A and B are shown apart, each in its own frame.
Chain A
Amino acid sequence: MCGACGVLQGGPEWLECAAIEGPRLAARQKRLRHVNRMLAATGTKVSESSGGMIVRSLTGATRVVDDLSHVWLAAAEIGRKTVDPLAPFRTVKRDRLQ
């Protein structure tokens, strides 16, 4: 197994896989760094908490989550905006594409 198995949704067994990219702690910290890059525009941050993750907003609101998809949901709930990775690069409004 490799680092690929530790990130995507699909159940806890994927999160338990050993990573080839380094020790498990380092892999988790790397993942958190990338998640926080993605969250930057929403005004939220994520950190680890006893096996799960905590999403915090600038106003102090928090949500405890256990996988990536729930991170995005929590950020949309307590952050400034939803997580849209394409937003900074879009030149056409979405409704004009439909």
Chain B
Amino acid sequence: MTAPLDRRVPVIVLGGFLGSGKTTLLKRLLERGDGPRTAVIINEFGEISLDHLLVSNVEGNSVVLKNGCVCCVIRTDLQSALRDLLDAKAVAGGRQFDRIVIETTGLADPGPIAQTLGTDPMLRRQTRLAGIVCTVDAMNGAHQIGAHEECLQQIAIADRIALTKTDLIEEDAVGSLTGMIAGINVRAGIFDLQGQMATGDDVEALFETDGTSEAAISWIRCAPALTARHANIENVLFETLQPVDWTAFAVWLSAFVHHYADDVLRIKGLLTVPGAAGPIVLDVVRNHIHPPRHLSDWPDDSRASRIVFIVRNIEVRALKLSLLDFLGHAPEIKQEFIPPALERAHPQTA
């Protein structure tokens, strides 16, 4: 059995703290011109909108949402903007664009935006969350992570992180920041876009939309057997060799996400479920559980089910024991801790 073709329009949320280079990154993406066609929604907070003026070819498939943040104040505007774009695409016979990028304000929480895609009936049928990209200013990132909860949450929730302005600081400082980011979100891919090795393909890879691709599920290789930790945010790997009873797991997950809504930042999983031909991909953003996706095959030789929880203020041991108990499984297996996010930025020397 092969996984059904997902024809929904992929949506990528581009977040990042104030001044971290979101618009510059979006401009680089749009200027490439040879990738998938991109419609953009730019959310600006303030009386005068400027960011969209910096994105020269934003006209056409573009919407600027002003005077409010899409994650809280003007979520209905976001719904309307997405619906309008999808209507325009349908009128044009589906040829207008291949993906949508939503650039948020610098203080936005991507969680409610992802939730909007999952809860609006029309958007749920026509779009899918293809990824959350976060820009981090290499010059000021360490300070912003320590001083601003918004920055910390944006990093914790992201799938891919773009380091910006790395050409303005020493390599050691980049390494230190990369380590700090991996402590917050060990499974996110980290891209240094100003580094000597950076190419235009790296920009495209950041906005990867194929949810079943190798890149999209590459996080399973950075799942830590040991936990990574920054401040009160923890990355927890739950791993089990026994097939997962989906019904029991879903009931546990629903109760867990409901009770710990404020402390669940992200959950990603690749599950082996009895009766399914391939693994099932799980994606939870904050307290919203996205519909599970079926893959036609496993990405590696392992048939273990792997779930990464990025949570805060939660006792890791209790989390693991609770899930094991509810599934009726033996304690999880152990494995080496090799976070490729760090490996990518700073290749290990023998």
Contact = CB atoms under 8 A, between A and B. Distances in A.
Interface string B292-326: 10100000000000000000011101110111011
B254 A8 contact: yes
Q: Is the interface of B mostly helix, strand, loop or mixed?
A: helix
A54 B40 CA distance: 44
A2 B254 contact: no
B118 A4 contact: no
B253 A97 contact: no
Given A27-B247, A30-B247, A34-B248, A69 B258 contact: yes
Nearest to A34: B251
A85 B256 contact: yes
Nearest to B288: A9
B200 interface: no
Given A21-B274, A89-B321, A4 B250 contact: yes
B251 A20 contact: no
B47 to A, nearest CB: 37
A38 interface: yes
A89 B325 contact: yes
Nearest to A2: B276
Nearest to B259: A84
B221 interface: no
Given A9-B289, A31-B251, A4 B273 contact: yes
Contacts of A64: none
A83 interface: yes
A98 B149 CA distance: 14
Interface string A12-46: 00100000110000010011001101100000000
A2 B273 contact: yes
A10 interface: yes
Interface in A74-98: 82-86, 88-92, 94, 97-98
A52 interface: no
Nearest to B281: A4
Contacts of B314: 86, 97
Contacts of A37: 251, 326
Given A3-B273, A86-B322, A91-B317, A8 B255 contact: no
A58 interface: no
A65 B275 CA distance: 30
Cβ-closest 3 pairs across A and B: A7-B250, A89-B318, A20-B275
Interface residues of B, number: 39
Interface residues of A, number: 36
Contacts of B325: 88-89
A17 B275 CA distance: 15
A8 B292 contact: yes
Contacts of B291: 5, 8, 10, 14
A98 B314 CA distance: 9
Given A7-B254, A86-B256, A90-B318, 13 more contacts: A2-B246, A2-B294, A4-B250, A4-B276, A7-B251, A8-B291, A27-B247, A30-B247, A38-B326, A83-B255, A86-B322, A94-B313, A97-B313
A88 B292 CA distance: 28
11 contacts: A3-B246, A3-B275, A4-B276, A9-B254, A11-B121, A34-B252, A38-B252, A83-B259, A85-B252, A86-B259, A90-B318
Contact of B124 (A2, A10, A92): A10
Contact of B318 (A2, A8, A11, A91): A91
